[in-house]
């Protein structure tokens, strides 16, 4: 066998390996590991309070009423699920949405990714979802252009525009968060204002 043929074989094997890895990553993102598709179907019939109660148990948030971090994360997941439901996403689309939300949050918490890096990771996941079919027999992509644009808009407003707030949530101690919250209450005690999470209040006010 010639050296040229050997190099071609190695290159072909490398391409197959890369293709398999991409497929595995796409399959991973097709579903949210925390909740199987059947359970997502059941959650679609829950009221807002029921959904919050069930996700609280699924995610293991036992102190969400007294822990700011757990409260913020529970709100993040509940709002994401409810948005996908209101957008008339299918169960598998909702599963992908929740998997993407979880991935982006994990990129902040575990990998300390900056905004631009995380946006690139989201773009890769979204591109895979737009090219990937939901099953071997159905060639329809998981997300069409309209679905993808809606999801981009939601994640931009719910996470990317409040990125620094989420970074601080994972890097600031509970005591510092509580102190910051007390100062925020003092500043806004005479004003009618929404919660810091809803408005994305400037972190220098909350945590100085």
pLDDT in tens, 85-128: 999 999 999 999 999 999 999 999 999 999 999 999 999 999 88
Domain boundaries, the chain: 36-133+140-172
115-122 contacts, C-beta under 8 A, 24 or more apart: 115/160, 115/163, 118/160, 118/163, 119/160, 122/155
Q: Is the dihedral of CA 153, 28, 163, 165 positive or negative?
A: positive
**Alpha-carbon span 48 to 62, nearest angstrom:** 18
Helix/strand/coil for 133: strand
pLDDT for 116-161, tens place per residue?
Answer: 999 999 999 998 888 866 555 555 778 899 999 999 999 999 999 9
User: Looking at the chain, how many residues does it have?
Assistant: 208
Please tell me the distance from the alpha carbon of residue 142 to that of residue 30, in angstroms, as a whole number: 8
Q: Is the pLDDT of residue 50 over 70?
A: yes
């Amino acid at each position: 066998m010639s050296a040229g043929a050997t190099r071609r074989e190695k290159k072909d094997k490398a391409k197959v390996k890369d293709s398999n890895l991409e497929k595995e990553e796409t399959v991973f993102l097709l579903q949210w590991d925390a909740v199987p598709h059947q359970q997502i179907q059941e959650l679609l019939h829950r009221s807002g309070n029921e959904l919050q109660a069930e996700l609280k148990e699924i995610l293991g948030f036992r102190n969400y009423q007294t822990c700011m971090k757990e409260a913020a994360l529970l709100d993040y997941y509940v709002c994401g699920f409810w948005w996908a439901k209101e957008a008339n996403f299918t169960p598998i689309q909702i599963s992908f949405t929740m998997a993407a939300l979880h991935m982006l949050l994990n990129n902040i918490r575990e990998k300390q990714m900056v905004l631009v890096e995380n946006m690139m990771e989201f773009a890769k996941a979204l591109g895979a979802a737009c090219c990937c079919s939901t099953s071997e027999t159905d060639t329809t992509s998981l997300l069409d252009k309209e679905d993808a644009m809606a999801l981009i808009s939601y994640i931009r407003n719910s996470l990317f525009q409040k990125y620094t707030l989420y970074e601080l949530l994972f890097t600031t101690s509970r005591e510092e968060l509580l102190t910051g919250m007390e100062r925020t209450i003092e500043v806004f005690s005479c004003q009618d204002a929404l919660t810091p999470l809803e408005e994305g209040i400037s972190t220098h006010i909350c945590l100085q």
